[in-house]
A and B are shown apart, each in its own frame.
Chain A
Amino acid sequence: MPVDFQNVRQALAEGIPHMREVGLELLSADADGVIAKIEHRDHFVGDPETGVIHGGIITVLLDSISGMCIPLVLDEPAIPATLDLRIDYLKPATPKVAIFARAHCYKATRHIAFSRGVAYQDSMDDPIAHCAGSFMLTRPAAAGKGGS
């Protein structure tokens, strides 16, 4: 399903409290994937000795875009609910530098969808984290019938 990028970008930036709070900025979103970034803020630091940000901020970024990339590849509307998300931390983030991430949905069935993504700073080819997610899809026609 194609989206009106500017509307989505604004809705996320203003309407989702935690995305607004961390300053998550959507850079692109289409069937090939979603790219977003979070600028450094000192209160994201997880290791005060090194200044490296906490993995939680990377989790928030990857979780956000992993969910967002699913509806973009579907032929009809569906709401994804995350079943699981696995994150591999490949190397420490460079302190005080923005974090980018890209995720895309590589497979969707009637009920389940799968995503892959990376978080990076300088280059997508040298990621700081990799993630894989699976999602349960709820189609509006089936909504309200309960159960999972």
Chain B
Amino acid sequence: MTSLLDGIQQARGSGDLRASIETVPYFKWLGLEVELREDELVTILPFQDMLVGNPLLPALHGGVTGAFLESAAMISLIGAMETVKLPKIINITIEYLRSARPLDSFATAVVTKQGRRVANVRATAWQDDRDAPIAIANAHFLIA
């Protein structure tokens, strides 16, 4: 079984991203996918009815959007560093910019600063228009 850590770090070669993502039960349950697009890890949350938090609009649950950004931040961080341990999240600030509609969502993240013990990661999520993000997040991870 490919671990999340190994799978993502080997993805730049020909690692099996799907298998490594599915080692995390929560990612598998959410249906998360990860693709390497032009040297950028893109985390994908395919739409499912069970992700809806406001059936009237309808809109994705805000907590799901937050969980998605946190996951994308961690996945991109693992991809960017040569870590031997899973990063542990310290905190995250999620800023909601637009209502997340019942569509597939995409997210990328950049490691803003990587120190010896802590990494700062900024993640952005969008749906049909990358220039109109639905939410952004800033997170700190313990990497020591």
Chain A residues with CB under 8 Å of chain B are: 15-21, 42-49, 53-57, 59-64, 67, 81-89, 92
Contacts and interface: CB of A to CB of B under 8 A. Distances in A.
Interface in B43-57: 49-55
Contact of B71 (A18, A56, A60, A63): A56
A98 B135 CA distance: 28
Contacts, number: 118
Given A45-B24, A47-B86, A88-B91, A15 B61 contact: no
A15 B52 CA distance: 10
Nearest to A51: B25
Interface string B31-53: 00000000000000000011111
Given A19-B61, A57-B26, A86 B66 contact: no
A102 to B, nearest CB: 16
B94 interface: yes
Given A18-B61, A59-B70, A89-B90, 10 more contacts: A16-B54, A18-B51, A48-B24, A56-B70, A57-B26, A59-B66, A60-B67, A63-B63, A64-B61, A85-B62
Given A45-B26, A55-B67, A84-B94, A67 B86 contact: no
Given A17-B49, A18-B51, A54 B63 contact: no
